[in-house]
Amino acid sequence: MPSRKLSGKPEELAAFIDKFDIFLFDCDGVLWQGKALLPRTVETLAHLRNLGKHLLFVTNNSTKSRATYQKTLQDFGIPCDVNEIFCSAYSSAIYISRVLQLPRDKKVYVIGESGIEEELAAEGITYIGDDGGDITPEDYDSFGPDEDVGVVLCGLDRAISYRKLARAYQYLRNPETVFLATNIDSTFPTHGKLFPGAGAISAPLICMTGRTPVSLGKPSQAMMDAIEGVLKFDKKRACMVGDRLDTDIRFGIEGGLGGTLAVLTGVSTEEEILEEGAAAVPDVYLDRLCDILG
């Protein structure tokens, strides 16, 4: 069934909202764009809370921990609880501790930023990283497999280096070492442009090993598992709201949520939503999130 644009009629908007108890929001491109809050975001979220809806903030951003991301939301004037936030750094930590159940004597080798380290530490997972300096002649001799490394976890790392990749590769040559990615978005939008995303950072490792990492970000259902692992809710009464068809909307559809709502303030366009062979078709869409206020 093709997607349809929600009309601005109050009764239609109210009927749509009434179908759900819980709304899962992608953030960048939905609530804000880069550093700019989108119009009436705060009022829209407050309106939904006033109607008794639960709100979750589900982001593939791996550079921030939930605590740091909470501060980002609060700086935009959006009140929220840390337990309402699901970042890919958090879903990765949950996956490693609760799904993989990584033995205590094994370590995670991390390519990524501080958010990942904070979430791994919070789950009591031992991790190592690389300081990212230049590779040295001694490194060529000393780098090798390490049986203590049970997982290589790769996220967005704006200090990526040859040395970091070379170490990861040595670990991944052991087929027992699990290969995880916080998310596989090839780019990430900032300052009105696209820059290399976590998927670009793991691309060299995929190229070298021929292995495909398990992704813990949308649209991977490992992210849904992480949410359900800590929060029980009726999926049929849940709606995913996002700006990207191939991640957000697909995540909601494949997760069996009761509804999906796309907004046109981010990556995907109205043409992409309506064209045949769309990456994923949302039930409904709006120009902007605040249009749900009527």
Residues that are catalytic: 26, 28
Nearer to its own copies, 1 or 207 (CB): 207
Q: Does 195 bind its own copies (CB under 8 A)?
A: yes
Asked if residue 234 belongs to a known ligand binding site, the reply is no
Question: Three-state SS for 147?
Answer: coil
* Binding residues with its own copies: total (CB under 8 A): 35
d(CA 194, CA 29): 13
Q: Does 206 bind its own copies (CB under 8 A)?
A: yes
Contact 239, 21 (CB under 8 A): no
Q: Does 207 bind its own copies (CB under 8 A)?
A: yes
Q: Does 144 bind its own copies (CB under 8 A)?
A: yes
Q: Does 134 bind its own copies (CB under 8 A)?
A: yes
Asked if residue 146 belongs to a known ligand binding site, the reply is no
Q: For strand 4-5 and strand 54-59, is the pairing parallel, antiparallel, or unpaired?
A: unpaired
CA dihedral 90, 156, 241, 273 (to 10 degrees): -150
C-alpha dist (Å) from residue 241 to 64, 99, 256, 271: 21, 27, 14, 18
Q: Does 158 bind its own copies (CB under 8 A)?
A: yes
Q: Does 269 bind its own copies (CB under 8 A)?
A: no
Question: Considering only 85-93, 95-103, 192-200, 220-228, which stretch makes contact with its own copies by CB under 8 A?
Answer: 192-200
- Angle of helix 114-122 relative to helix 66-75, nearest 10 degrees, comes to 120
Q: How far is the CB of 22 from its own copies (least distance, A)?
A: 34
Asked if residue 28 belongs to a known ligand binding site, the reply is yes
Q: Does 208 bind its own copies (CB under 8 A)?
A: yes
Q: How far is the CB of 67 from its own copies (least distance, A)?
A: 23
Is the bond into 219 cis (omega within 30 degrees of 0)?
yes
Greatest Cα pair distance in the chain: 70
What residues make contact with its own copies under the rule CB under 8 A?
134-135, 140-141, 143-144, 157-162, 165-166, 169-170, 173, 186-187, 190-191, 193-197, 199-201, 203-208
